[in-house]
Amino acid sequence: LASRSGASQRTKQVMCPDPQQVFISNLQREIEKQTGYRSSRRRRSESQYDYEVYHSLEEIQNWMFEMNRTHPDLVRMFSVGKSYEGRPLYVLQLGQRSRPQKKAIWMDCGVHAREWIGPAFCQWFVKEAISSYKYDLVTTRLLNQLSFYIMPVFNVDGYRFSWNTDRFWRKTRSKNHKFHCRGVDANRNWKVKWCNEGASSHPCDDTYCGAFPESEPEVKAVAKFLRKHKKRIKAYISIHAYAQMLLYPYSYKYATIPNFNCVESAAHSAVTALYSAYGVRYRYGPASTTLYVSSGSSIDWAYRNGIPYAFAFELRDTGHYGFLLPESLISPTCTETMRAVKAIASGLLKKCDTHKNRFTFI
């Protein structure tokens, strides 16, 4: 398990200069802290649901049903398809339904199974938006004027596998007929410069691009939904971990996007809003130069398909805990990220002035 962790940590290329430094002396104990003691956790009803612990897939889906049942005025739950192993791909539509053709934002979490802080944030976002509606002016305006499509767990099969079998699993769980290795990197499987630099054609690699673009039913289902609603969807946000970065296209090449000024301004506003919570610094910029080159990514696909604002967050931390971010850091991480997402969403309600250096942020 420790060796698997080392390989997984290196995937993010933001490591400590000393590769021999031990960050976590007892890795198994850290894992058990996040998966153990399930019976004692408060999760049986919405009022008791604990947003400061990590939740299994079954708990998250039950929570989604509960939010849909208890908030019919603001929440609508639906499925965009089924995973490789036949699990429904649930999405929550969030917002006041007075105007059906409002601008919309798509946000997905849990594309990579081991990045548990992602699904935790998607749940936190829904909880905060609903609880502060009619009390917070910014939230009220956002839910009145925008629709949010929230997918708490994109890679449902992989996420479940990371709970039950391998905490550091990254990919989907599809079978390969030629190799015993399973799964595809769901963020290398999109139909944009598919399987070029930064993706692997070998099924046993963590960045395996798949047999063909949209080979994974999870990717295909989300792509189909986004294509169908692309005229309304103005922003695509994907929540990942870890690195403390806010990334935008392009991932697959070193080039400047046509609406660079507007996207750069939105990113600046977001990281400034995030910093205002606890003083945590995020780097931001094109994914290719800020993190690394990768092909077949969701943000490049979303941008190429007409969604003008496409972002990927890499949440806390920068490598000390890596994918094992402690539950004690869920609250501050989600609190600051909430500010960043609200800043991006607020920017959509204004016309971007390319002559100005930045949007007003919350």
314 carries an active-site annotation: yes
SS3 147: strand
Question: DSSP secondary structure string, 12-52?
Answer: T----S-TT--S-S-HHHHHHHHHS-GGGS--SSGGG--TT
Using left for φ > 0, alpha for ψ between -120 and 50, and beta otherwise, residue 134 falls in: left
- How crowded is the C-beta side of 78, counted as CA atoms within 13 Å? 9
Contact between residue 244 and residue 280 where contact means Cβ atoms under 8 Å apart: yes
User: Of 346, 343, 361, 341, which Cα lies nearest the Cα of 106?
Assistant: 341
User: What single-letter DSSP state applies at residue 89?
Assistant: E
Question: What amino acid is encoded at 341 in this protein?
Answer: V
Number of Cα atoms under 13 Å in the Cβ half of residue 318: 12
Please state, in angstroms and as integers, the Cα–Cα distance from residue 246 to each residue in 133, 157, 177, 292, following that order.
26, 26, 37, 13
> Residues 115, 214, 216, 314: which is the catalytic one?
314
Strands 309-315 and 245-248 come out as antiparallel
- Catalytic residues, by residue number, are 314
